[in-house]
Amino acid sequence: MEHGTREETSAAPGARPIAAVLAVKGLADAKTRLSPVVPADARRALVLAMMSDTITAARAAGVGDIVVVTPDPEVSATARRLGARVVADTPADAADPVTSSLNRALARGIDAAIGTDGARVVVLQADLPALRAPHLGAALVRADGHRQAIVPDRSGSGTAMLIVGDTSDITPRFGVGSARAHRDAGAVDLVADSGDLWPDLRTDVDTVDDLAAAMTLGVGRATAQVLADVGLGSLASTPTPHAS
């Protein structure tokens, strides 16, 4: 089945509406840890492609409202083409001495997202190129009723997704060790008892190893195209086609 298509939709009937927030920093500074294998121009294209595949999968999972927070005009244009709303992060976000610029940007996006229909909000990493709609849908169903919930990344220390059910507390705690920080703040870990659940949802791509892991799972169409263009098909030995 096609990656991230509407046919894969598995949003729960009757569940509260959910809006998604993604943050993407300026393309010139993005994904520096991939520089050993991805040249600068291709890194820019890869960031846009991974965001596109993430948004496509989120839409296929039934997420109607998608907010992208970014200071970057190219990211903004791509996000708008995909029907997302864009919120600009500002130099003031970067200058805040207490909260990281990422969390400032995300808080701004969450604020914008909860303006719509009293929706729950899911903060999704923007670099989930292997994300499959049924798994995101299942995670959203499992999170229903929790004040906050997380899906840790594949390393276990970061956060691939934060679901904010109680929008009176919207503090994101992304950054080094964020899975623990979110759990300590009361978020339920949705994969605590089943660490091998939803590997696609847990594979945000920061390092070359992450990229290879995502390729093994099978990446979405936009990411696959960029990787093919730069001849990176051999990073992972045998990409596995998606099971339905």
Ligand X SMILES: C=C(OP(=O)(O)O)C(=O)O
Q: Nearer Cβ to ligand X, position 135 or 182?
A: 182
Q: Which CB, 11 or 105, lies closer to ligand X?
A: 105
Choosing from 54, 159, 203, 223, the residue that interacts with ligand X (CB under 6 A) is 159
Task: Give the contact letters, 56-75, x = binds to ligand X (CB under 6 A), - = no.
Answer: --------------------
Cα separation, 150 vs 221, whole angstroms = 26
Answer yes or no whether residue 198 interacts with ligand X by CB under 6 A: no
Residue 23 touches which member of ligand X, ligand GTP, none, C-beta under 5-8 Å by kind = ligand GTP
CA dihedral 161, 76, 107, 181 (to 10 degrees): 30
CA distance 222 to 99: 33
Residue 74 CB, shortest distance to ligand X, in Å, is 20
In the complex, the residues that contact ligand GTP under the rule CB under 6 A are 23-25, 30-33, 69-70, 89, 94, 101-102, 105, 126-127, 206
Q: In what order do the strands lie in the sheet with 18-23?
A: 85-88, 65-70, 18-23, 120-124, 159-164, 148-152, 188-189
Q: Which stretch binds ligand X (CB under 6 A): 50-58, 68-76, 151-159, 163-171?
A: 151-159
90 is in an annotated binding site: no
Q: Which does 70 bind (CB under 5 to 8 A by kind): ligand X, ligand GTP, none?
A: ligand GTP
Q: Which is nearer to ligand X, 111 or 206 (CB)?
A: 206
Find the binding residues for ligand X in span 76-105 (CB under 6 A).
102
Annotated binding site for phosphoenolpyruvate: 159, 175, 178
State the residues that interact with ligand X by CB under 6 A: 102, 125, 153, 158-159, 174-175, 178, 204, 206
